[in-house]
Amino acid sequence: MIGALLAIWQADTAFPSGGFAFSNGLEGLAAAEGAFSADDLEAVIEGALRRRWASADRLAMVRAFDRAMDLDAVARVDHEVETTIVSEPFRAGSRRNGASLLASHVRIGTPGAGEWQALVRAGRAFGHLAVTQGVVWRGAGLDLTGAVLASGYMTISNYTTAAVRLGVVGAVAAQTIVRHLLPVLAELAASPLPDRIESFSPRLDVAAARHARADLRLFSN
Amino acid sequence: MLELSSRKVSGASQASAARIGVGGPVGSGKTALIERLIPVLRGRGVDLAVVTNDLVTKEDAERLRRSGLIDPARVLAVEAGACPHTVIREDPTLNMAAGDDLEASFPGLELIIFESGGDNLASTFSLDLVDWWMFVIDVAGGDDIPRKKGPGVLKSDLLVVNKTDLAPYVGVDLEGMLTEANAVRAGKPVLATNARRGEGVEAVADMICRAVLFHA
């Protein structure tokens, strides 16, 4: 039971992790494509789940979780993440979001968080979000199933929260999308892990690249 | 191999620089006040840096970087994700991480100033993020602001009433506004400033030094 509660604790948007400041390409997409329906939003999030989270973020988190007792091995996963994220705004966002999550866990005293932060500060790791999740969630006592579900749920909720703030969709309508996507997340979470970290989301990559050059923006990426 | 330990690393034991917040409504003069505070504090030997939370641009950060008042590397911008109060209160971790970065980059740093994006009277700083914070309002916002008793007005460690020079032009009784501000704050300090001309800025610096730097 505690495993489920720990996963809820970490997936709760009330847990300070910095995620609210990242739209992960959505602000750029909404700006570029004008009218953006709830169906469009759902399709974007499902695409991000299937072709970014399931094949890249999930794998990186699981590998870091499995190796959390050997932070040098975790750092190698982290370097792989750095080299496999094509888009610079996504890469920078992942590092900053990871640093924010780490800032909370270091102060809470989560086992392993201080050591992982020291490695990042020493320049021996980048501290990407998915990798940092693996380290601190293992230290915090989550089980692997809960950690995978928390990671996937946060991917959905970060997008829908950003969409509400961008005025793409209302707060209640956003929860309809979340409900639709929960079975997708359950299916993907139960699917076999791929052999290597890979993602394919060119539409979001291009949108994030355009967004990075925008004068006016609410979100970091 | 690095092993996991349960060693608790608290914010208090890890941080060495004092962290203060500057909040307040849009256009109340937060950036102008910081621009005036920087040379005053540096003149007193305070080693400082600034983190800004612009809402939609990096204008405040760029303004400080280009001011010539401070090494541009000592000014970091943190995006507020459309929520200026979230980034200083409900989820201050991006700001905390920025503060940690500044401390790592500038050993000996004594003071980090976190400038909130312009917000409303309900904005407050999390004490996870700062040790002390001030709330800046201005006379042009209306002399009824203290009477509205927003959390920013009531809970801040220092209330600054800025743009005092504008009072006669906007029909504000400055003395009455300050009297009401003092009354609603129940003994917590209130200072009047005209940041554009530097008036009252030394008194704000005195208060920062006494509150968090323990300078005379």
Tokens 């800004």 label which residue? Answer: B52
Residue A109, Cβ density class (10 Å: 0-12 exposed, 13-18 middle, ≥19 buried): middle
Comparing CB atoms, the residue among B8, B56, B128 nearest residue A109 is: B8
In chain A, residues with a C-beta closer than 8 Å to the C-beta of B106 are none
Q: What is the CA radius of gyration of chain B?
A: 17
B4: nearest CA partner in chain A = A112
Chain B interface includes A114 (CB < 8 A)? yes
Tokens for A194, please give them. Answer: 């791929």
Q: Which residues of B touch A211 (CB under 8 A)?
A: none
Minimum mean pLDDT range among A161-170, B14-23, B188-197? B14-23
Q: Which residue of A has its CA nearest to B81?
A: A21
Q: How far is A11 from chain B (nearest CA, A)?
A: 14
Percent of chain B with pLDDT over 90: 71
pLDDT tier at B59 (50, 70, 90 boundaries)?
A: confident
Q: Is B31 annotated as a binding residue?
A: yes
As for the ipTM of the complex, it is: 0.86
Report how far Cα B100 is from the mean position of its chain's Cα atoms: 17
For residue B5, is pLDDT > 50?
no
Q: Is the pLDDT of residue B132 over 50?
A: yes
Q: Do A20 and B100 touch (CB under 8 A)?
A: no
pLDDT at B66 over 70: yes
CB B210 within 8 A of CB B46: no
Chain A residue at shortest CA distance from B78: A220
Domains of chain B: 18-213 (3.40.50.300)
Interchain contact, A121 vs B104, CB within 8 Å: yes
Closest CB to B93 among A14, A16, A165: A16
C-alpha count within 13 angstroms, C-beta hemisphere, residue B41: 27
**What is the average per-residue pLDDT within B162-183?**
95
Per-residue pLDDT, averaged over A59-88, amounts to 96
Chain B residues whose CB is inside 8 A of the A23 CB are 81
User: Which residue of chain B has the CA closest to A214?
Assistant: B57
C-beta separation of B206 from B175 below 8 A: no
Nearest to B9 among A101, A109, A216 (CB): A109
Please indicate if any CB of chain A lies within 8 Å of the CB of B105: no
The pLDDT tens digits of the residues spanning A125-143 come to 999 999 999 999 999 999 9
Query: How far is the C-alpha of B205 from the C-alpha of A154, rounded, in Å?
Result: 42
Burial A190-219, CB ≥16 within 10 A → b, else e = eeeeeeebebebebbbebbbbbbeeeebbb
pLDDT in tens, A143-193: 999 999 999 999 999 999 999 999 999 999 999 999 999 999 999 999 999
Between positions 73 and 102 of A, the ones with CB within 8 A of B are 96, 99-102
> Is the predicted pLDDT of residue B191 greater than 50, yes or no?
yes
B152 annotated as ligand-binding: no
Which CATH topology does A35-206 take?
Urease accessory protein UreF (1.10.4190)
